[in-house]
Amino acid sequence: MSSKIYGVAVIGLGLAGRIRVGDLTNSTSYDKIQWCLKGFVSRRSLEIEGVQQLAESEVFDRKDIDAILICTENGSHERLVRRGIENGKHVLCEYPLALSSRVAKEFFNLAEKKGVILHEENIGLLFNYKEQLDNSSIPWKHCDISVKGGYNGWIEDHENSGPPFVCNIGLVETVCHLCGDLKAVGGSFSNTESSFEAVAHLETPDKRTVTITLNRSKDCYAREKSIVFQLQDGSELNISPTKTSGAKPDLFLQDFHKFMDEIVSGRIDQEMKARTMRALEIAEDIHRLIMPKL
């Protein structure tokens, strides 16, 4: 076991943040890497047994905090990521890492300059979607991926939280992971006072097609995700979110382990970096087609 114990803090105590705090409290080591949860930051005054609530400034100023986990709403990601890197902290941030590819590139360059790790979380990619697709002996010709869900106070705020496919960049990252490089060729956007629908049409270099449909509504309370591939023989492959075979830790903890591996090695995951950047570029191309005035 390494003698180095990494101090970690969590910013944001929504659903993901609470899971992170629980994970880092119940587990304090992995493959000879040790950590200690120094505390959490929340706008609310909260009591969590055995965990200290910190002021935001403490997280960036304290020398015993090596890494921060950002689990806040999208609109605050850029401010917190920038402050973390500039203060020499390793940063794990929920997607989207930034609201534009330009800023994301700036962050990766700044992290390299400061000698810290910058990691974008996407636990959706830890499901064995790719394994299920690769196990099919019949090539696919079209993919439909859709998500339905409710409003939460910020996801519908396109100005501050990012336009639909940036705010929900995980969908774009998923199709990049499954289908390879893509380009935006069309789509649509419609909204009312209580809902919106965003549709993106994409295409692979060999002209196979992908449609991403995002529906959000005040009246929707349960989140639903669907990934369906139409195969060349006319059949369908419906991919379901199951864990990778043999995976034991929960998905958030698996993601944290990846982050710690990067910290110890001193190397940012280049596949993650390339996927993060490319997905934001694709999302921006989609929005230029469907929301040119945003």
Domain boundaries, the chain: 5-123+247-267, 125-244+281-290
What pLDDT is recorded for position 294?
A: 59
Check whether 262 has a pLDDT greater than 60: yes
What pLDDT is recorded for position 59?
A: 97
Q: Are 38 and 7 in contact (CB under 8 A)?
A: yes
- Reported as a pLDDT band with limits 50, 70 and 90, residue 221 is confident
Sheet containing strand 67-70, strands side by side:
29-30, 33-41, 5-11, 67-70, 90-94, 118-121
Torsion of CA 58, 61, 63, 64, to 10 degrees: 20
For residues 75 and 247, the model is more confident at 75
Alpha-helical segments (H) within the chain: 15-26, 56-61, 77-86, 101-114, 129-134, 158-161, 164-167, 169-179, 251-265, 270-290
Check whether 200 has a pLDDT greater than 70: yes
Strand partners, 256: none
Q: Are 11 and 80 in contact (CB under 8 A)?
A: yes
What pLDDT is recorded for position 101?
A: 98
- Reported as a pLDDT band with limits 50, 70 and 90, residue 223 is confident
**Rounded Cα–Cα distance for residues 187 and 165 (Å):** 12
**Rounded Cα–Cα distance for residues 84 and 68 (Å):** 7
Q: How far separated are the first and last CA of the chain, in Å rounded?
A: 51
- The tens digit of pLDDT for each residue in 79-115 reads 999 999 999 999 999 999 999 999 999 999 999 999 9
What pLDDT is recorded for position 2?
A: 60
Q: Which of 76-90, 148-162, 183-197, 238-252 has the lowest mean pLDDT?
A: 238-252
Three-class secondary structure of residue 145 per DSSP: strand
Q: Which of 4-13, 127-136, 142-151, 244-253 has the lowest mean pLDDT?
A: 244-253
Q: Are 129 and 178 in contact (CB under 8 A)?
A: yes
Looking at residues 250-277, what average pLDDT do you find?
A: 96
Identify the DSSP state of 244: P
5-123+247-267 and 125-244+281-290, same CATH topology: no
What pLDDT is recorded for position 235?
A: 97
Q: Is the pTM of this model over 0.85?
A: yes
**125-244+281-290: what fold?**
Dihydrodipicolinate Reductase; domain 2 (3.30.360)
- The CATH architecture annotation of domain 5-123+247-267 reads 3-Layer(aba) Sandwich (3.40)
Q: What is the mean pLDDT of the chain?
A: 94
Looking at residues 42-51, what average pLDDT do you find?
A: 90
Q: Which of 59-63, 180-184, 239-243 has the lowest mean pLDDT?
A: 239-243
